Structure 1
Amino acid sequence: MNGNGAPPRMGDATTPSVSSTGTRTKLERGRGALGPALELVHTGRAPTRAVLTAELGVTRATAGAVAAELEALGLIRVDSRPGASGGTAGTGGAQGRPSHRLSVAEDGPVALAAQVHSDGFRAALVGLGGRIVATAPGKVTVSADPAQVLGAVVRAGAELLAESGRRCVGAGLAVPSAVAEPDGTALNPLHLAWPAGSPVRDIFAQCVKAAGIDGPALTGNDVNLAALAEHRHGAGRSAQHLLCVATGHRGVGGALVLDGRLHSGSSGLALEVGHLTVNPEGRACHCGGRGCLDVEADPLAFLTAAGRSPGPEVSLLQQARDLLREEPEEPAVRAATEELIDRLGLGLAGLVNILNPDRIILGGLHRELLHADPERLRAVVADRSLWGRSGGVPILPCTLDHNSLVGAAELAWQPVLDDPLGALA
């Protein structure tokens, strides 16, 4: 412990005397590995100190110092007793040698995550590892005034923080709209009835500051953030070129993660896949086109194709899911399922031809359609895509609950992952 009762830190002037300059040099050199090490534990890729040593390419001593520093910061836990099989051949650990297990700190800091969609909004606290620590009850009324909605969701998050007593590293917001960079404006929040170009990042930041919440306040598109969360913690792990396509409560979105980073284009507007034409004679789209994926393969399109009138009692997504799960063999429902699978497959095939991903993950209603008839969907994609015919692209369901919320938290966690000491000083 140092003089104020805190554990010794790398390079801290109060660190107990070091017996050699070489040892201190190792500690200082290890500071540059803190961020990469934290990301490895955060994403589950370094379950033991032996694996951490191999992944970082450092000595066991340096890896031990790095792990100890992250533990002193309250971010990870190092099991005090080594367990069996700490490393394997090819990962840098001695075969069968016991190694200390590493895990994220269950009582550590959290990020405030917020999500707004056409049928409601929700706040949550999310720890390292993508763990949702607490959620506020979802609200089902979304005002046409973004400041009113964002103020309400931040207040709900502030209440969660007060109840938890946790330190907050920052806040992230997921919205169903393309978010232009660098201004953070929502260009097309059509399903929210918000004005085009609403300065959602500035409004969110003001609400966060007014609530007395520390850390940065960041904003992103909901499907982009879902893809980021799935890549780090869910069905997209280990993919190098990950394509995510999802329909939430209204509309269709897409995202691409390349080598662990979101591909957002020159101004944050890449992968607006909802406006691919999949039915030239189809429904009129909000963009001015006709037959776009956005209006041909979302929950409203499914309910309409099945001859059902949407009700006000629950969200459109929930109504579509319930119908698909409870009456899958009813003729109209089956016909609607096949129609939407074919439309979705056409869109995916075009994206495969352009992007050549090594994995596709589907969320929202699209995940349910995949479960309903996986062979039909995969056959459409393979038949209509050049690369699909050469072996096919794995098409998998998203696996995380509330993945857009988890992704919103990833925005707030990123500065900590980049520089743990600097972000938490």
Structure 2
Amino acid sequence: MQRDAHRRAAPDRGRTLLGPALSLIHTGQTPTRSALTRALDVTRATAGAVTAELEALGLITVDSRPAGGGRGRPSHRLAIDPEGPVVVAGQIHADGLSVTLAGLGGLLDPPVHLPLPAATDPVRMLRAVAQAGAELARSTSRRCLAAALALPNPVTEPDGTALAALHFAWPSGTPVADLYDVEVGRADHGPMAVHPLPTAIANDANLAALAEYRHGAGRGARHLLFVTSGHRGVGGALVIDGHLHTGSAGLALEVGHLTVDPQGRPCVCGNRGCLNSETDPDALFAAAGLTPEPGRPLIDQARELCWAASTDERARAAVEHVIDRLGLGLAGVANILNPDRVVLSGLHLDLLEAAPDRLRAVVAERSLWGRSGRVPIVGAELAHGALAGAAELGWGPYLADPQSVPV
């Protein structure tokens, strides 16, 4: 009787391990079957059964040629199946749209960047990004499992409404999740897409932080603070032990509206001197007394201004001015959160690279934890963090339950 119960329990246990196993392979933590065996704390037979199931689902490959170089029995290599399914990942910027296809393992196809539509009301914006994603889905022979979108404004949980959509003057409380679901449902994603195609939507900084934690500069951190400035404004996020801290309604860590200069530049929120208005590309140009060229992406021009700081006095003074305010903001957040790593992205990464000693000195001077040398400040590693994060969002249900992947 006990033997029969054990036989029934073993397959059940193997099924419950599919999600944890796929997540470990997805994040590159277990490149071999022996590493997966140790990470899951199971027998080799159980690990073999789990990987065989994931391979049968078309999610991973198991290379029967053993990986040598270590002690003990050589182990089989595990990798994401390059022909496996994809999700559509999209992003709306303050001045454009981006879409790509993303497989497991944080692997993105080259993104397609598009201008904003002539009308930037919610329906037309979401329709434009949904149609662009559908075009990519039709172009691939790989199974398409979901469509997820990163937005440059707070998104409430669980209802998926946009609050303070300041860049486009959308009405507060716009039901972006529902609207996006409708537009994705209307678009033709081709015969290889799941129908109806599941959708998801979230704040871009939150998603970029999650992607950096899983695949970039945040790997290994327990309390990761992520701060970024993209085309306009500033976003932030906190990842604790692998989980985004989003607060009671998905609105936590709006660090962009932390005041760093009470007499500073007006912010779109109605306040003055927010990190949002003191450390973004517009603020850098204002500090330099320059006007950006029309028709060119603002973030690209701001980066060029950062690079010029090594030879141009005006650019250097502007960079130092913005860095001082960024340092004040980082120190204030660090004093409250006590992160074990700070990752900077977007323009903030360029500022860090332009004057790393100055930024770290400001944070150390203003932060108790910085003075103790316990706040490593590093640059983001992912070129398209928010898109990679949108991919993580789209893959989320399948990482939790790989058996839900249609074959």
The answer to whether the superposition gives a TM-score over 0.5 is yes
Is 1:336 aligned to 2:318, yes or no? yes
Which position in structure 2 is the counterpart of 1:128? 104
Is 1:321 aligned to 2:297, yes or no? no
Selected match of 1:57 from 41, 47, 54 = 41
Check conservation: 1:119, 1:142, Cα contact below 8 A.
no
**Whole-angstrom distance in 2 between the partners of 1:142 and 1:424:** 38
What amino acid is aligned across from residue 199 of structure 1 in structure 2?
Answer: P
Which position in structure 2 is the counterpart of 1:16? none
SS in 2 for 1:190: coil
Which digits, 9 at most, give the CA deviation of each residue in 1:86-128, with x for residues without a partner?
Answer: 6xxxxxxxx3421001011111000101100111001110110
SS in 1 for 2:328: helix
What amino acid is aligned across from residue 236 of structure 2 in structure 1?
Answer: G
Selected match of 1:226 from 199, 208, 233 = 208
- In structure 2, runs of 5+ residues without a counterpart are none
Q: Aligned pairs, how many? A: 398
Q: 241-250 or 24-33: which moved more?
A: 24-33
Matches within 5 A, 1:99-178: 99-141=75-117, 143-178=119-154
Matches within 5 A, 1:25-424: 25-85=9-69, 95-141=71-117, 143-213=119-189, 214=194, 215-326=197-308, 328-424=310-406
Check conservation: 1:302, 1:320, Cα contact below 8 A.
yes
- TM-score, length of structure 1 as denominator length: 0.90
Q: 1:371/1:327 Cα in 2 relative to 1: closer, same or farther (>3 Å)?
A: closer
Q: 122-131 or 308-317: which moved more?
A: 308-317
Which position in structure 2 is the counterpart of 1:4? none
- In structure 1, runs of 5+ residues without a counterpart are 1-19, 87-94
Identity of aligned residues (%): 58
**Whole-angstrom distance in 1 between the partners of 2:173 and 2:266:** 22
Q: 195-204 or 354-363: which moved more?
A: 195-204
What amino acid is aligned across from residue 155 of structure 2 in structure 1?
Answer: V
What amino acid is aligned across from residue 261 of structure 1 in structure 2?
Answer: H
Q: 190-199 or 251-260: which moved more?
A: 190-199
CA shift for structure 1 position 24: 6.5
- The root-mean-square deviation of aligned C-alpha atoms, in Å, is 1.6
CA shift for structure 1 position 144: 2.1
**Whole-angstrom distance in 1 between the partners of 2:252 and 2:123:** 26
SS in 2 for 1:180: coil
Q: 1:41/1:67 Cα in 2 relative to 1: closer, same or farther (>3 Å)?
A: same
CA shift for structure 1 position 255: 0.1
Check conservation: 1:223, 1:255, Cα contact below 8 A.
yes
Check conservation: 1:190, 1:196, Cα contact below 8 A.
no
Check conservation: 1:251, 1:295, Cα contact below 8 A.
yes
What amino acid is aligned across from residue 56 of structure 1 in structure 2?
Answer: L
Check conservation: 1:85, 1:99, Cα contact below 8 A.
no
Check conservation: 2:161, 2:173, Cα contact below 8 A.
yes
Which digits, 9 at most, give the CA deviation of each residue in 1:393-420, with x for residues without a partner?
Answer: 1100001011100101111101001011
What amino acid is aligned across from residue 153 of structure 1 in structure 2?
Answer: V
